[in-house]
Copies of this chain bind each other. A is one copy, B any other.
C-alpha cells in the first residue's frame, strides 16, 4: 500500500488507482487463473502503468492478498467483518456461519481467487505469516470470542483448547473444498458442527 506523503489530489488519485488495481487483480484471477495472472494484465485492466504496481506490491501473491482483504473487509462494511452471531444457541450459530462459508466456497466468483490465494500461502512462508497476522488471526479471534461466550454459558467444556476447537469446526470444510473429497453442502456443515460438539465417543441420548 502507498505510504509516501502526497498532496490531497495526488492522494485521491492514488487511492483510486489502488482500488482499480485490486479490483482488476481479483477479477482477472477469477477469469484466467493464478498461473496466467500477470502484472502486465492487471496494469492493463486497471489502466495504470506496471511500475505503479511494482512500486506498491513486492509480488503477485502480496497483491492478490490485498485484493482479497479489500474485498472481504468491504463485505463486512465495518472494516473487520464483525463478530459471529450469538443467539445463545452455540450449535445453531456455528451452523449459520459454516453454511455461509460453504456458500462462499461454492460461489464460482470466489472459487478460483481463493484457490490461488491458498496456493500462494502454502508455498510462501512470508505471505503465510502476513495472512495469519492480517486475516486468519483476527477472524480466529472472533471465532474464539464466540466460543468463550459459550463457555461462560456452560455450553463448552472448561478444558477445551480454543484453537483446537476452531480447527475442528472450521478445518474440515476447508479441506473438503480444497481436495474435493466430497460434496460441500449445508448438510455436511451441520454434521461437522454436531459431531465436533458431541464428540465421537458414545453418548447418552
Contacts and interface: CB of A to CB of B under 8 A. Distances in A.
Interface of A: 33-35, 115, 118-119, 121-123, 125, 128-129, 131-132, 136, 140, 147, 154-158, 160-161, 163-165, 167-169, 171-172, 174-176, 178-182, 188, 191-192, 195-203
A168 B180 contact: no
Given A156-B201, A157-B203, A197-B200, 15 more contacts: A33-B123, A119-B122, A119-B123, A122-B179, A132-B179, A147-B200, A154-B202, A157-B202, A164-B188, A165-B195, A174-B175, A196-B196, A198-B201, A199-B201, A199-B203
A72 B199 CA distance: 31
A154 B15 CA distance: 62
Chain A residues touching B, majority SS: helix
How many copies make up the complex?
2
B171 A175 contact: yes
A132 B180 contact: yes
Nearest to A123: B115
B165 A200 contact: yes
Nearest to A157: B202
Contact of A168 (B33, B129, B192): B192
Contact of A157 (B167, B179, B191, B200): B200
A133 to B, nearest CB: 11
B167 A131 contact: no
A199 B202 contact: no
Contacts of A196: 168, 196, 199-200
Contacts of A132: 179-181
Contacts of A163: 182
Closest 9 CB pairs of A and B: A199-B199, A167-B172, A171-B171, A171-B175, A128-B180, A171-B172, A198-B199, A157-B202, A164-B191
A169 B168 CA distance: 8
Contact of A197 (B154, B179, B199): B199
